[in-house]
Amino acid sequence: MIDTMTQKRLHVSTHGGARPYIILPLTQLDQVTALLTANGVPFEVGEEVLSVDGKPEVAWIYFEEGSDSAFIQTLLDGIP
């Protein structure tokens, strides 16, 4: 799936020892959460959204520690 703001693919981040997460445009949140739910992937949507320098708002989706990041990335990559 392509991030509508950056025009790059959405990426499951595992940096810094934090649990896996995705940062995505708020406008894509419903589509991504529907995909994750349909595939039985446990997740939590961050409570806050953020807009920097007047850019569109972004949201965070967090996954459980030990989640299969490669599987989640494969799901995201399967959506144009």
Cβ atoms of residues 60 and 46 within 8 Å: yes
> Model's pTM, two decimal places?
0.89
Secondary structure of residue 44 in the 3-state scheme: strand
Question: Which pLDDT does position 18 carry in this prediction?
Answer: 77
pLDDT of the chain, 80 residues: tens digit per residue: 999 989 999 999 988 777 999 999 999 999 999 999 999 999 999 999 999 888 899 999 999 998 999 999 999 999 87
75: number of CA atoms within 13 Å, CB side?
17
Bridge-based pairing state of the strands 58-63 and 21-25: antiparallel
Instruction: Name the fold adopted by 20-77.
Output: Alpha-Beta Plaits (3.30.70)
How many whole angstroms from its chain centre is CA 41?
Answer: 12
